[in-house]
Structure 1
Amino acid sequence: MLLDALLLNAAILLAAVLALWAISVRINDVSFIDSFWGAGMAMLAVVSWLQLGPGAGPLTTLIMAMTAALGFRLGIYLLRRWRREGEDQRYARILKKDREAGRFAFAALTKIWLGQAVLLFLVSSPAQVGILASNAGSGPLPPVALAGLALYLLGVFFEWTGDWQLARFKADPANEGKILDTGLWRYTRHPNYFGDCAAWWGIWLCCAGVGWNYALYTLPGPLFLTFTLTKWSGAALLEAGMKKKRGDKYADYIARTSPFIPWPPKRAA
């Protein structure tokens, strides 16, 4: 039953991806895929919850609500950013040669949309499995799930507040060329990425509340997310660009500020 439900989720995700791919071909821009990263995870959580019908217990509903709130908020935030800033230059560089050669549609599907769909399904697996495998009924939430909820709420605070502080900073013309080093950005160079990571580890702990065997099966999800946020397309890629644009200013910020986990800044020598 669990496998059948996951296959249905995969089919729904593929249908959504193909529809969005067709839109991206029509507008000649795939950049809005970033907004689907969060919204797609939320969609899979809601679909998983709906498959249970009346059998959804408190832990099941909690995992769904946690994932939906996290994913839909991120999706709306990134969609608004794309509408405001236009095509993301990362995707423009990836697809430049294919666009010039008239292969944009095929490349957008194979290089961007399908790959992202696989990773999205993997990262959101703790939420999907935690919801679909839950048989907690109406009993109290297990301690590990309460710990997961606490970690999730910490992550949500850092992600949402960090994004809000960054948006306010960018909206002020007086900050042009400056480095945001106040608020949460004083304690970590990436409060939003740290928050997203912590929130998903919290969801994984809630999945462990359903059963540690299910948590073990879905462990690659938060592990991959942690890797991509710290070493691949998240902090590492962003910092490479910031070093080029801000030079010594950003180097000074790096020297005194924790790279990921919040920590008091170092004092100047």
Structure 2
Amino acid sequence: MAAERGAYQVGGRLAATSRAVGFAVVVLVYVAAGLAAWAVLALLRGQHLLAVTFYADLVATVVVFGASVLVANASVYDPYWSVAPAVIVAGWVLWQAGGDLAAVTGRQVAVLLLVLAWSIRLTANWASSWRGLSHEDWRYVQLREQRPAGVPWWLINLTGIQLMPTLVVFAGLLAVWPAVTVTGRPWGLLDIVAVVVTAAAVLIEATADRQLHRFAGDPANRGRIIDRGLWRYSRHPNYLGEITFWWGMWLFAMAAAPSWWWTVIGPVSMVLLFAFVSVPMMDRRSLVRRPAYAEHMRQVPALLPRPAMLRPRRG
């Protein structure tokens, strides 16, 4: 096992290629995944579209997984989190409208635009930080190096890094289904609340990422802990924004079809993923790299700010 780990080279034979080549590979992989998903849709035509979408989503994920094995880089999957939902939601809207853009409702437009804004921002954030096929997310490197003896890396890559997030995101999309396919209820107050919550979520994510990039890009902050802006109130405001986005999608579902209340499993799944997987991993890494982070954890909550922290300072 030790020899296997030592022999692994991120990027494999393509490790020395340029960043542009890396992005070209990712684009080709996603085109192939899209074609595979389209084939599933064609083969299962006539079945319920929600179920068919789920099968197509899984097949596309397996295609991306296969490519990640071929190029020895699990980060090939990373943009799937933000790219797939936008494609799926756009497809659902067009299907419901029968291809007639004039038939698209106000709620459908609002949901689609917000999903696209979220998708473009998150995908661009990944693209700006990914350096090419020789660069793999540090979490994947850690999982590979610390995996139990006898457990093959491909299995962790398939289940933990790729299939699990696909399933969680699809759970989140369950709420989007009624929001864009049930059109009998008119636009109402809950729709407005959903727009505000979802737009605020995208803004929180964008602001948190911009503040973090600016902080990390200043050499004077090397080794320091970011505790300014949104990061003063939450250790992971970017994760808070992501969770809030999916709650906003659920509010749209409630506005369109209250009987779909059970799709709350989507945002709840997001809370569990970030609270029990993503946040602990990030905190453990920060504790190792910055000893003062333990005190920071005691002072700043992981996700939701404490009410007292939001009160304006006197004087």
Quick check: TM above 0.5? yes
**Is residue 208–residue 237 contact of structure 2 (8 Å, CA) maintained in 1?**
yes
Question: What is the rounded CA distance, in whole Å, between the counterparts of 2:287 and 2:205 in structure 1?
Answer: 23
Q: Deviations over 1:116-160 (max 9, x none)?
A: 322221122212332122334xx4x21111111111122122111
- Report the Cα distance in structure 1 between the residues aligned to 2:189 and 2:310, rounded to whole angstroms: 33
Question: Structure 2 CA distance, aligned partners of 1:265 and 1:96?
Answer: 40
Q: Provide the residue aligned with 1:181 in structure 2.
A: 227
Pairing of 1:127-206 with structure 2 (within 5 A): 127-136=176-185, 139=186, 141-206=187-252
Whether contact under 8 Å (2:82, 2:119) holds in the other structure is yes
Between stretches 119-128 and 172-181, larger displacement belongs to 119-128
Mapped contact 2:216–2:222 kept (Cα < 8 A): yes
Whole-angstrom CA distance in 1 between matches of 2:285 and 2:85:
28
> Residue 235 of structure 2 aligns to a residue in which SS?
coil
- Consecutive aligned runs of 4 or more in structure 1 exceeding 6 Å deviation: none
Aligned counterpart in structure 1 of residue 303 of structure 2, from 243, 250, 260: 260
Name the CA shift for 1:217/1:3 in 2 (closer, same or farther; >3 Å): farther
CA displacement, residues 166-196 of structure 1 (integer Å, 9 cap, x when unaligned) = 1111122221100111111112111111111
- AA aligned to 1:51 is W
In the alignment, is residue 91 of structure 1 matched against residue 136 of structure 2? no
* CA distance in structure 1 between the aligned counterparts of 2:145 and 2:277, rounded to whole angstroms: 19
Does residue 43 of structure 1 match 2:87?
A: yes
Taking only aligned residues, the RMSD between alpha carbons, in angstroms, comes to: 2.8
Kept in 2, the 8 Å contact 1:40–1:120? The answer is no
- For 2:251 and 2:159, locate their aligned partners in 1 and report how far apart those are by CA, in whole Å: 33
CA distance in structure 2 between the aligned counterparts of 1:2 and 1:153, rounded to whole angstroms: 35
CA distance in 1: counterparts of 2:57 and 2:245, whole angstroms: 22
Which of 102, 105, 130 is the matching residue for 1:57? 105
1:147–1:3 Cα change, 3 Å: farther
101 and 253 in structure 1: CA distance in 2 versus 1, 3 angstrom threshold: closer
Kept after mapping to 2: 8 A contact 1:158/1:191:
yes
Matched, 1:70 2:114: no
CA contact (8 A) 2:287 2:294 kept: yes
Q: CA deviation at 1:105?
A: 4.8
Deviation digits for residues 61-94 of structure 1 (CA, Å, limit 9, x no counterpart): 2112212211232122123323378212322343
Q: Secondary structure in 1 aligned to 2:74?
A: coil
Q: Which residue of 1 aligns with 2:26?
A: none
Q: State which drifts further: 42-51 or 86-95.
A: 86-95
Does residue 184 of structure 2 align to residue 123 of structure 1?
Answer: no
1:228 to 273, 277, 292: 273
In structure 1, stretches of 5+ residues that fail to align are none
Residue 52 of structure 1 aligns to which amino acid in structure 2? Q
**For residue 263 of structure 2, what is the aligned residue in structure 1?**
218
Provide the C-alpha distance between the structure 2 equivalents of 1:106 and 1:238, rounded to a whole number of angstroms: 23
**Length-normalised TM-score, structure 2:** 0.73
- Whether contact under 8 Å (1:66, 1:203) holds in the other structure is no
Answer with 144-153 or 15-24: which moved more: 15-24
Q: Distance in 2 between matches of 1:182 and 1:2?
A: 53
Aligned length: 260
Give the Cα–Cα distance (whole angstroms) in 1 for the partners of residues 157 and 249 of structure 2: 31
Q: Distance in 1 between matches of 2:125 and 2:57?
A: 21
- Which of 1 and 2 has greater Rg? 2
Deviation at 1:224, TM superposition (A): 0.9
Distance 2:145 2:283 in 1: 23
CA deviation after TM superposition for structure 1 residue 202, in Å = 1.3
What is the TM-score of this pair, normalised by structure 1?
0.85
1:203 aligns to what SS in structure 2? helix
Give the SS at the match of 1:188: coil
Distance in 2 (alpha carbons) for counterparts of 1:167 and 1:199: 21
* Structure 2 residues without counterparts, runs of 5 or longer: 1-44
